[in-house]
Chain A
Amino acid sequence: MATADTWQPAPSLPAPRSERGWIGWARANLFANWLSGLVTVVTVPLIAWVLWRIVAWVFGTADWTLIASRPQQYLIGLYPTELAWRPLAGWLLVSILFGMAAAMWGGAARRIAIGYGAITLLLGILPYGMFHEGVVMPGWIRALIVANLLTMAVGYALGRSSHWGRPRTFVVGGIAIYVVLLVLLTGLPGMEQVPPRQWGGLMLNLILAVSGIFFAFPIGVLLALGRRSALPVVKILCVVFIEVFRGVPLITLLFMSQVLVPLALPENFPVDSVTRAAITITLFSAAYTAENIRGGLQGLHPGQAEAARALGLPGWQVTSLILLPQAIRNVIPAIVGQFIALFKDTSLVYIVGMLDILEMGRSIVQGNVQFADNGRELFIFVAVVFWIFTYTMSYVSRRVERHLGVGVR
């Protein structure tokens, strides 16, 4: 007879074969019940067929000459070729930031930096002549593109150093680089001037989006504070501004900036149509940012403001040092979302005759009868380019969200 001290539990058996490995996974995730199984059986061949059609079209039917024959125009528009070193130099500076981010935050930032570096390298060494005869990418341009890897390394080193590798350096450096980039593209006094009218391609989309969010942010903060203000006049003005800009389509606002605003300005007022469009986009975006930040402010516990006041901080310090930082932290994902929306909306500047990547392509299709049939290829290409950027941004946003623990209370 077995006694208590000699009793041994039977050794636990491995799960049955049908619950393990890929079979087990498939049973749990593909054939959990008859409905799930049916869905799997129907969708898998359908997906395979769609994918096959897409592959067949991309590599068979489609004619990519439209894109392959003029890579430069899609990247920088009609920016003069002999001055192409300017955007390229600006690009080199931007790469520093990617290197720094990779060193400072690791993880997702590093992965993005690696992807970014890979794409850059690819753009630098791609044999463009292979896709379309006669397209020659000058050696110096290739060299400048590949040099981005060097500046990324510099940025990485900066990010590792305890002195430079701080978020404040990153932000201030980022702003400085942005300013330098704009000045460089326009040209310093004495250099040949390239007015924003001549900027184009993907570069223009990126610049408009970055400028938009960059200026929209401070304006949005002010509007949000104004909307929560106890002063009725300020409050009403802010509410009217926000609701008008949020209530009207951007495309209508852009039309107005071209048709109505010039009339409401004195003759020879020194703001050209491109600047007007950029300002319109910024104000539109500011109204949305204001609402996001207002949401963040509303989510704060009133105790925060009370505690700060009890410590004797004056009103503006309560707002700028206690409330805003917390509110902004809470709405970072929303602001990134707004940035993505803004980036997509930059494709609407065709209304003012600017050649962003989409309009650049459309003007090529329209102006050259040999491409009249290639609309599909153009749209797919532009969609993929936009997608790469926006998807990366939403990926970053999700990581940041998780990192900050937003929504976890």
Chain B
Amino acid sequence: MRLSLTYQGIPIWRHSRVLGWTAQIVSGIVVVAAVAFFIANLANAIDERDIPFGWSFLNREYSTPISEHLLPYQESDTFAYAFLVAAINTLMVSIVGVILATLLGIVVGAVQLSGNWVISRVATVYVEVFRNVPLLVQLFFWYILLLGLPRVSEGFVWLDSFYLSNSGLSLPAPRAQEMAVPWLLAVVVLIAISIGVRAWLARREERTGKPSYPLLGGVVVVVVGAIVAWFALGGEPFAISVPHPEGRFGRIVDGATLSTELTALLMGLIMYTAAFIAEIVRGGLQSVSKGQTEASRSLGLGTMETLRYITFPQALRVIVPPLISQYLNLTKNSSLALAIGYADLTSVAKTMTQTAPAVTIFLIIMLIYLSYSLTYSLIGNLYNRYIQFTGG
């Protein structure tokens, strides 16, 4: 008898690579099958149940007003353009909200750690109240509160150019004229030049040791250049548009208007998100070892300087990742605008579904929201990498 000494190896069905591939193929097939199933049903529904579908509506006139828009908009504009207008509205809310919520959140977070008992308690109460109540409820609350302002005919007027009522706040705003584009281009060029000037002055200061005021130099280039361009272009690039009441209802037209709906939306989003950001900031500041503060104080830095140069840069590494997810949340939460009448992306899309295929509309707004989210994530990740490397 001979013993077989050849190594049999593990059975083929237990080989990890085989298992791995099987898992991949199976899950791939399942997902593809599921997607195919849904799409087939969808196609079926579109065919048989006369569910409208298609993209041709994008070139049709939307012919429904949008109450508020950052971009110019008329009812005769197309659906595609209306999407753009609504998407920009959401983007604007998102950007303004993110900036203000961050500022407020940092302040509240820092105040929570303040030595003054009263104000640190107030900050804590603020955080605990605002992050624990559904945003929808808060939005209703703010909106109803702002509606308590006097109506437009009895509103506050200041210098005949600032109007405040429960329809919103109107104030003078620059309005672009014919020469606006060339002037803005000139300013962009000037800024580029000024960066060069600043760098040159800074190098000179380093080389010669004489104070050369690089920052001041740069600013002077831009300001002087802009003024010269303003007059040189012949015709003012911007005129001031002053708001004024018009028509039998005394509605305020012209100027720039911050409507009640937008204000309530921003207030709600900012107060809500800032409560979360405050907690993140507090956690970040507390994560910096106490020895750092003590060392800094013993080197003679003041409280504010310690916070600014020692504590905060280190805390930033802990703060940034969760902060970005708060930015994402704020952007997505802005879709609650439809409850209080601000024309954001979701709200406009919902109106559109009455006259255009819902399937297509939802695909479009999903893509828009996804692109916002991914952009925020990308910027956040880049910044995160940057601070991790430089270490403040």
A352: interface (CB < 8 Å):
no
**Residue A58 at the chain B interface, CB threshold 8 Å:** no
Q: Per-residue 0/1 for A175-213: is the Cβ within 8 Å of any B Cβ (1 yes, 0 no)?
A: 000000000000000000000000000000000000000
If A246-B373, A259-B353 touch, whether A386 touches B133 (CB-CB below 8 Å) is: yes
**Complex Cα spacing A29 to B119, Å:** 10
B36 shortest CB reach to chain A, Å: 11
Is residue B306 contacting chain A, with contact meaning CB distance below 8 A? no
* CB within 8 Å for A376 and B336 given contacts A234-B24, A234-B27, A387-B129: no
Please give, as numbers and ranges, the residues of chain A lying within 8 Å of B350 by CB-CB distance.
Answer: 255
Q: How far is the CA of A247 from the CA of B370 in the complex (A)?
A: 5
Provide the bound-state CA to CA distance between A43 and B346, in Å: 40
Choose among A39, A263, A407 the residue that contacts B119 (Cβ–Cβ < 8 A). Answer: A39
Question: Is A379's CB under 8 angstroms from B144's CB?
Answer: yes
Q: Is the CB of A44 within 8 A of B24?
A: no
Main secondary structure of the interface of A (DSSP, over half): helix
Residue-wise, chain B 333-344 has the 8 Å CB interface mask toward A (1 for contact) of 111101000000
A379-B140 contact, Cβ under 8 Å, with A39-B116, A248-B332, A255-B362: yes
CB–CB A252/B134 < 8 A: no
Please tell me which stretch of B37-45, B188-196, B217-225 contacts chain A, meaning at least 4 of its Cβ atoms lie within 8 angstroms of it.
B37-45
Residue B137 interfacial (CB < 8 Å):
yes
Is the interface on chain B under 10, 10 to 19, 20 to 34, or 35 or more residues? 35 or more
CB-CB < 8 A to A233: which residues of B? 24-25, 27-28
Chain B interface helix/strand/loop/mixed: helix
Q: Does B240 contact A (CB under 8 A)?
A: no
Within 8 A of A (CB), among B123-165: 128-129, 131-138, 140-141, 144
Does A122 have its Cβ within 8 Å of any Cβ on chain B? no
Residue contact A263 to B42, C-beta cutoff 8 Å: yes
Inter-subunit contact A347/B137 (CB<8 Å):
yes
Q: With A and B bound together, what is the CA distance between A375 and B136 in angstroms?
A: 13
B319-368 with Cβ < 8 A to chain A: 328, 332-336, 338, 346, 350, 353, 358-359, 362, 365-366
**B374 sits at the interface (CB 8 A):** yes
A379 to B144, CA, bound (A): 10
Whether A49 is near chain B, meaning CB under 8 Å from some CB there, is no
A32 to B332, CA, bound (A): 43
Looking at the assembled complex, report how far the CB atom of B307 sits from the nearest CB atom of chain A, in whole angstroms. Answer: 14
Residues from chain A with a CB closer than 8 A to the CB of B374 are 243, 247
Chain A residues within an 8 Å CB radius of B128 = 391, 394
A297 to B372, CA, bound (A): 27
A382 interfacial by beta-carbon distance below 8 Å:
yes
In the complex formed, the residue of B with least CB distance to A346 is: B134
**Is B215 in contact with chain A by the CB < 8 A criterion?**
no
CB-defined contacts of A318 to chain B, threshold 8 Å: none
- In the complex, which of the residues A39, A43, A379, A382 has the most CB atoms of chain B within 10 Å of its own CB atom? A379
B residues near A29, Cβ cutoff 8 Å: 115-117
Q: At the interface, yes or no: A47 with Cβ under 8 Å from chain B?
A: yes
The answer to whether B137 touches A243, judged by C-beta atoms less than 8 angstroms apart, is: no
* Interface contact A234-B23, CB-CB below 8 Å: yes
**Does A249 interact with chain B (Cβ within 8 Å)?**
yes
The verdict on A126 contacting chain B, using a C-beta distance below 8 Å, is: no
Known: A39-B116, A232-B24, A233-B24. A244 touches B141 (CB 8 A): no
- A383 in complex: contacting residue of B51, B137, B144, CB < 8 Å: B137
Within 8 Å of chain B (Cβ to Cβ): is A358? yes
Task: Report A-chain residues with C-beta under 8 Å of the C-beta of B31.
Answer: 237
How far apart are the CA atoms of A28 and B346 in the complex, in Å? 51
Instruction: Answer whether A36 and B365 are a contact pair too, CB < 8 Å, given A237-B27, A247-B373, A347-B136.
Output: no
Sampled A-B contacts (6; CB under 8 Å): A29-B116, A44-B118, A247-B372, A260-B362, A383-B138, A383-B141
A interface, CB within 8 angstroms of B? 28-30, 32, 36, 39-40, 43-44, 47, 230-234, 237, 243-244, 246-252, 255-256, 259-260, 263-267, 315, 340, 344-345, 347-348, 358, 375-376, 379-380, 382-383, 386-387, 390-391, 394, 407
Residues of B bordering A, CB below 8 Å: 16, 20, 23-25, 27-28, 31, 38-39, 41-42, 45-46, 49, 51, 115-119, 122, 128-129, 131-138, 140-141, 144, 287, 328, 332-336, 338, 346, 350, 353, 358-359, 362, 365-366, 369-370, 372-374
Cβ-closest 5 pairs across A and B: A247-B373, A29-B117, A390-B132, A249-B335, A233-B24
Extra contacts, 20 of them, besides A29-B117, A30-B116, A247-B374 (Cβ < 8 A), are A39-B118, A47-B118, A233-B25, A233-B28, A234-B27, A247-B328, A250-B332, A251-B335, A252-B335, A259-B353, A259-B358, A263-B42, A264-B39, A345-B134, A347-B134, A379-B141, A383-B133, A387-B133, A390-B131, A407-B287
